[in-house]
Amino acid sequence: MPRINSAAELEELRKDILAQKDPDKTCISVCAGIACLGSGNAQVISAFEEEIKKQSLDAKVDLIATGCHGFCEKGPIVVIYPEEICYLEVTPEDVPEIVSKTVIGKKVIDRLIYTDPNTGIKAAHQTEIPFYKNQSRLLIGNSPKINPKSIDDYLAIGGYSALSKALFEMTPEGVLDEIKKANLRGRGGGGFPAGSKWETTRNAQPGVEKYVIVNAHEGEPGAFMDRALFTGNPHLILEGLIIGAYAIGSHQGFIYTRHDTPVLRKNLDLALAQAKEYGLLGDNILGSGFSFNVDVHLDVGIFVSGESSALMRSIEGMPPEPRPKYIRTSVTGIWDRPSNLNNVETWANVPQIINQGYEWYSSIGTERSKGTKLISLSGNIVNSGVVEVPMGTSLREIVFDFGGGIPNGKKLKAIHFGGPMGGTIPESLIDTPLDFDELSKQGASLGAGDMLVLDEDTCMVEMARLFLDFLAGESCGKCVPCREGMRQMLKILTNMTQGEGKDGDIKLLEEISGVVGEAALCSLGRSIQKPLISMLKYFRDEFEAHIKEKRCPANACKELK
């Protein structure tokens, strides 16, 4: 592979890659997202390889294992380009028929396409399936079309053009200004303006080395959109990171991710190696004089290491214990140097803002929450999966139009955002728009965008207990309010679900929550009471029924039936 030494050479290479691609050539795109792999897509891929060989189609057909297509519920998914025919729940046994009828015969196999469960209407293309139809897949939409292991595929869809534009046509201040004007807000949970954070790191400790970090820890149960995007299109995040580093004046980046997603690790290592070979990473990027390197660090199994200051300790090789929140990591982070951390989705938004400008970006979304948001849908929902919608989309649309509603004829009871540090809102607030501030107002922060849908059979006391049970095993144990407060709250809630709740328990829970929220050291500790508080706000009668009547209104607690 040649090293690219200028913006012109990059465009030249892009032209060459595009010239070699025949847009009419058949390409079989097999989803290799986590869920599709879990439901047997590796066998589907090998069946295709075998069949292509058997029919001597090697030269006429491309076969790619891609990142997540999003419609996890109906996996394994196979899409055949250029016609974009989408087959769902494909088994290895279906493969010979797909090759002979669709790849060679150009005919659609009716039994493998989408059938609307309500109307019976069939849809052969992704763009016609209700799940995909009204999404705005600006970030994840390319994943079905590219091979995440090929930098050429990313270049073919215009990849690294934003980096080239930033390096050669913009000053670091100009890039920073663009991100600030776009009002890009952090996608990891806080919703803090990314531009202001970048500026703080840029201006902190002049002359001292600065760091930029991708937080790809994604430890919240039910959150899987970052993994889906990062695995399926690693160069997108890398490009965003390099642009950010240029704006901030950093020459060293870190990617912090989980060790237990082997496909992500592989794709990421490959992406870094390829970018280096092309001269898009390393010394003198694209001949611009700007140098930047990236190291990958792995979490090996503790939730708290996704907290920004704990994550930075971990990169230093120390135990992942957070520091008090008044020490700002953007000023004093890794080895006490200024360190700017953003999550995967935030970085992924950067290239399109640079390419298309802040005016375009801020035309999407609501007044204070711009752009699109990736949402991972899970729980009691017909279509679990990853959707991408403009900010401002109503929760009703997400649950019923994209999510397909609640399975088994049950009623929706509540929606929980943000995992064990998030909040729950009841069914009655389903017309709330997806917006950082609107959701916060209702007591549920958007979190990273994980939406857990709960049906009428869910006991909210048990849900509150489950979240604390999860966190009790994940606290680092350094500060007392978090460690002991959680233990006591868990004990009270467990008693309630076992019919041993006492008068005054709710008051005690609220008191402990108040102390933990004020006095715990880090943002994890200070958020552990949030699910409970929101559930007490909207479902207090359920807690009272457990205590006073020894009754579980949802009929879920075994000891109380």
Partner 1 sequence: MNNEKIEQILNEHQGQPGALIKVLMEIQEENHWLPREVLVQVSEKLEVPLSRVLRIATIYKTFSLTPKGRYQVNICTGTACQVRGAQQVLEEVQKLTGIKPGETGPDMKFSLETVNCQGCCSLGPLVEIDGKTHGKTAPAEIADALKKYE
- Beta carbon nearer to partner 1, 13 or 466: 466
- Beta carbon nearer to partner 1, 417 or 436: 417
The verdict on whether omega for the bond into residue 82 sits within 30 degrees of 0, i.e. cis, is: yes
Question: Dihedrals φ, ψ of 10, to 5°?
Answer: -65, -45
221 lies in the site for partner 1, by CB under 8 A:
yes
DSSP run (H or E) holding 218? none
409 lies in the site for partner 1, by CB under 8 A:
no
Q: Which of 543, 557, 445 is nearest to 502 (CA)?
A: 543
* Count of positions on this chain that bind partner 1 (CB under 8 A): 51
- Beta carbon nearer to partner 1, 220 or 438: 220
Considering only 66, 349, 380, 393, the residue that binds partner 1 (CB under 8 A) is 380
Three-state SS for 35? helix
Shortest distance, position 336 Cβ to partner 1, whole Å: 15
Shortest distance, position 471 Cβ to partner 1, whole Å: 11
Give the footprint of partner 1 on residues 61-90 (CB under 8 A).
72-73, 75
Burial class (CB in 10 A: 0-12, 13-18, 19+), 466: middle
Considering only 76, 385, 403, 525, the residue that binds partner 1 (CB under 8 A) is 385
Three-state SS for 55? coil
Shortest distance, position 511 Cβ to partner 1, whole Å: 26
Q: How far apart are CA 459 and CA 54, in angstroms?
A: 54
Give the footprint of partner 1 on residues 436-465 (CB under 8 A).
452, 454, 458, 463
- Beta carbon nearer to partner 1, 26 or 383: 383
223 lies in the site for partner 1, by CB under 8 A:
yes
Stretch that binds partner 1, among 160-168, 412-420, 437-445, 512-520 (CB under 8 A): 412-420
Considering only 156, 364, 466, 533, the residue that binds partner 1 (CB under 8 A) is 466
Give the footprint of partner 1 on residues 25-44 (CB under 8 A).
33-35, 37-39
Stretch that binds partner 1, among 59-67, 90-98, 272-280, 413-421 (CB under 8 A): 413-421
Stretch that binds partner 1, among 57-65, 224-232, 246-254, 485-493 (CB under 8 A): 224-232
Name the DSSP class of 98.
I
Q: How far apart are CA 40 and CA 50, in angstroms?
A: 16
Considering only 26, 183, 257, 314, the residue that binds partner 1 (CB under 8 A) is 314
Q: How far apart are CA 86 and CA 80, in angstroms?
A: 7
Q: How far apart are CA 413 and CA 458, in angstroms?
A: 8
- Beta carbon nearer to partner 1, 308 or 380: 380
In the sheet where 85-87 sits, what is the strand order?
61-66, 26-31, 78-81, 85-87
Considering only 154, 358, 467, 539, the residue that binds partner 1 (CB under 8 A) is 467
Shortest distance, position 504 Cβ to partner 1, whole Å: 28
Alpha helices, DSSP H only, in 98-251? Answer: 130-133, 151-156, 161-169, 172-182, 194-203, 225-232, 234-248
The verdict on whether omega for the bond into residue 76 sits within 30 degrees of 0, i.e. cis, is: yes
319 lies in the site for partner 1, by CB under 8 A:
yes
- AA identity, residue 560: L
Pair 385, 229: CB distance under 8 Å: no
220 lies in the site for partner 1, by CB under 8 A:
yes
Burial class (CB in 10 A: 0-12, 13-18, 19+), 442: middle
Cα Rg of the chain, angstroms: 24
388 lies in the site for partner 1, by CB under 8 A:
no
Q: How far apart are CA 554 and CA 541, in angstroms?
A: 12
Considering only 23, 289, 317, 409, the residue that binds partner 1 (CB under 8 A) is 317
300 lies in the site for partner 1, by CB under 8 A:
yes
Pair 146, 17: CB distance under 8 Å: no
**Which residues 6+ apart lie within 8 Å of 548 measured at CB?**
503
Shortest distance, position 473 Cβ to partner 1, whole Å: 8
Considering only 268, 476, 528, 554, the residue that binds partner 1 (CB under 8 A) is 476
222 lies in the site for partner 1, by CB under 8 A:
yes
Shortest distance, position 470 Cβ to partner 1, whole Å: 7
Pair 483, 522: CB distance under 8 Å: no
**What is the DSSP secondary-structure string of 452-510?**
EEEETT--HHHHHHHHHHHHHTT----SHHHHHHHHHHHHHHHHHHTT---TTHHHHHH
Stretch that binds partner 1, among 147-155, 255-263, 497-505, 538-546 (CB under 8 A): 255-263
Pair 403, 421: CB distance under 8 Å: no
201 lies in the site for partner 1, by CB under 8 A:
no
Q: How far apart are CA 516 and CA 422, in angstroms?
A: 15
Considering only 302, 480, 515, 519, the residue that binds partner 1 (CB under 8 A) is 302
Pair 66, 148: CB distance under 8 Å: yes
Q: Provide the mask over 136-175, with x wherever binding to partner 1 is found by CB under 8 A and - wherever it is not.
A: ----------------------------------------
Distance of CA 363 to the CA centre of its chain: 22
187 lies in the site for partner 1, by CB under 8 A:
no
Q: Which residues bind partner 1 (CB under 8 A)?
A: 33-35, 37-39, 72-73, 75, 218-224, 227-228, 259-261, 297-303, 314, 316-317, 319-320, 376, 378-380, 383-385, 416, 419-420, 452, 454, 458, 463, 466-467, 470, 476
